[in-house]
A = this chain, B = another copy of it.
C-alpha cells in the first residue's frame, strides 16, 4: 500500500485536514433528497443505508441559481458564486455583449481546493460526466481529470491519464444515459484500486433525474446501480461524502406552467432580454427551461416597475434587482441580469416559445434552478465529530462538502 499524504492545506481561508486514506466526494447531479428517501425505502441502496445509519444524513443548502456549473464551481472551491464568478451555465457577457456558455476556466475567479490538494501531495482524481465541466473544474490541477463523455479522448499530457476505457473496463458511455454517471463512479473505483488517486471528486450527470421521478423503476434501478459503486468505494477504505448540486422537481403537470418571460415583457415594456442560465449543450435534459432567469433591461429607469410587474405574475416567487440579488443570493453582480427572477416548485421560466424546443424533451419536463431545488442531501460515511455536528445544525452548504468529508468525521483511529 502506497503511503497517502495527510498534509493539511488552506484554500480561501478554509483549512482542510484530509485523513491518510482515500477521500472521495461525490456530487450526485440533480439528486433531490426524495431520490434517496424513496430508493432507501424500497431497499435499493443498502450501502447508502449503512452510511446513513453509521455516519450522517442531513440537508445542506446549495448555491443559487441551483444549476450544475454554479454549484460544481462552488464545491471545488468551497466558495459561493460571488467569489467563484460562476453564475450559471450560460450568461450575457457584459464585456462582449454576447450570450455565451460559462464553460471555460477563464471565467473562474478563484483557485480550487483540488489544485491545492495536489500541490500538497495528494493524488487528485477528478471525473465528471459531462465534458463541459471538466475544463472549469480541473483549472490549474496537477492530477487526473477527465469526463465520462470523452473518456476515450483522455491523454497523459492533457488529462493526466490515458487508456481510461481499459482502466475502467467499460466503453465511453453515451452522455444521455444513466451509464454516464455510473461510468464516473466506476472510474473512481478503478482509480482507487489502481492507487492512481487518493483524493477524488466525482461529479455525475442529472440526465436520469430530469427524465425520471424517484418512484419510477428506471430511477430505482439507477440508484441501485450507483449504490453498488458506493459500496465498492467504501470497501476500498475510502472516507466518502456525498451531496448534490441541486434538487429536481416535476414542472409539467396539469396545474403547472411555463412562463415565457421575454415574450410577456417585450409586449409590455419592449427592449428586454431574458437569459436562461440553465442553457447548456445538453438540451434533451430540460429544453433550457429552469426555475431562475436573468432579465436584462435597456432602460434602467424601468427596473422597479418591471420588477413589480414580474413579481405579480402567478408562478413567480421572488424578484431581485442586481444589487439585492448579488447580496441575497451571493451572486457576482457583473454576471447577472438587471433583475433575477425565481419561480415556484412546479413552474419554469423561459424566454419565448420559439426559443425553447420542447419536442426534444423525452417525456415530461423535470427541472431546477430556483429556490425549491436549493436544499440537497449531504451523506457522510462516518459520524460527525462535535465541531461539525454543531456546524451541521446551522446553515451548512453543499460547498462545505470537502470540509465535512476531510475534517468532519470521527476517525476510528482516534478511538482505539
Contact = CB atoms under 8 A, between A and B. Distances in A.
Interface of A: 33-34, 36-38, 40-43, 49, 52-53, 56-59, 61, 213-215, 250, 253-256, 311-312, 317-318, 324, 327-328, 344-346, 371-372, 375, 389-391, 393-395
Nearest to A387: B254
Contacts of A256: 394-395
B255 A395 contact: yes
Nearest to A315: B395
Nearest to A49: B41
Nearest to A393: B250
Given A37-B37, A52-B41, A375-B375, A394 B254 contact: yes
A213 B396 CA distance: 15
A1 to B, nearest CB: 32
Given A311-B328, A395-B344, A57 B37 contact: yes
A42 B49 CA distance: 9
B253 A390 contact: yes
B41 A255 contact: no
Contacts of A390: 253-254
A58 B34 contact: yes
A115 to B, nearest CB: 27
Contacts of A391: 253
A255 B57 contact: no
Given A254-B394, A327-B312, A390-B254, A53 B61 contact: no
A375 B346 CA distance: 14
Contacts of A253: 390-391, 393-394
A35 to B, nearest CB: 11
17 contacts: A33-B33, A33-B59, A34-B58, A37-B57, A38-B57, A38-B58, A40-B40, A58-B214, A254-B390, A254-B394, A255-B394, A256-B395, A312-B327, A318-B318, A346-B394, A346-B395, A372-B375
Contacts of A394: 250, 253-256, 345-346
A394 B213 CA distance: 11
B393 A213 contact: yes
Contacts of A34: 57-59
Contacts of A61: 345
A312 B325 CA distance: 10
Contacts of A371: 371
Contacts of A43: 53
A71 to B, nearest CB: 17
Given A253-B393, A391-B253, A53 B59 contact: no
A396 B229 CA distance: 34
A387 to B, nearest CB: 10
Contacts of A328: 311, 317
Contacts of A372: 375
A21 to B, nearest CB: 24
A328 B342 CA distance: 12
